[in-house]
Amino acid sequence: MKEIGEALKEQRENIGLSIEEVATDLKLRPSQIEAIESGNKEAFKDVFYLKYFIRDYSKYLGLNYEDMIDEFNEFLFDYTSKISLDDIKKAQKKADIKEAKETKKIASPYTVERKRHLNLSPIVIYIIIGLAILGLGYYVISSFTSDDFENNDVESNTIGG
Model confidence pLDDT, tens digit, residues 65-99 = 888 888 888 877 776 666 677 777 888 888 877 77
Residue 112: inside a domain: no
**17 Rama sector, left if φ>0, alpha if ψ -120 to 50, beta otherwise:** beta
The domain boundary residue, chosen from 50, 81, 112? 81
Cα separation, 75 vs 115, whole angstroms: 47
Report if residue 69 sits inside a domain: yes
Tell me: do 130 and 77 sit in the same domain.
no
Specify whether 11 is located in the same domain as 73.
yes
Q: What is the pLDDT of residues 119-155, one digit of tens each?
A: 668 888 889 999 999 999 888 888 877 655 555 555 5
The rounded distance, in Å, linking the Cα atoms of 133 and 139 is 10
Range(s) of the domain holding residue 132: 126-161
The mean predicted confidence, pLDDT, of the chain is 78
| DSSP secondary structure code for residue 126 in this structure | H
With 90 as the cut, is the pLDDT of residue 7 above it? no
161: pLDDT confidence band, cut at 50, 70 and 90? very low
Tens of pLDDT along 35-48?
888 888 888 787 77
pLDDT in tens, 98-110: 776 666 655 566 6
- Where among 17, 48, 81 does a domain terminate? 81
Say if 111 falls within a structural domain. no
- Domain limit, last residue, from 26, 52, 81: 81
Task: Choose among 96, 95, 91, 67: nearest CA to 80.
Answer: 91
According to the model, what pLDDT value does residue 45 have? 80
CA distances from 84 to 80, 87, 89, 142, 152 (A): 9, 5, 9, 81, 96
Report the C-alpha gap between 106 and 87 in whole angstroms: 27
Q: What is the pLDDT of residue 82?
A: 66
Q: What one-character-per-residue DSSP string does 102-115 give?
A: HH-S---TTTPPPP
| Residues 67 and 138 reside in one and the same domain | no
CB 68 within 8 A of CB 55: yes
Is there a contact between 69 and 54 (Cβ–Cβ < 8 Å)? yes
Name the pTM for this structure.
0.49
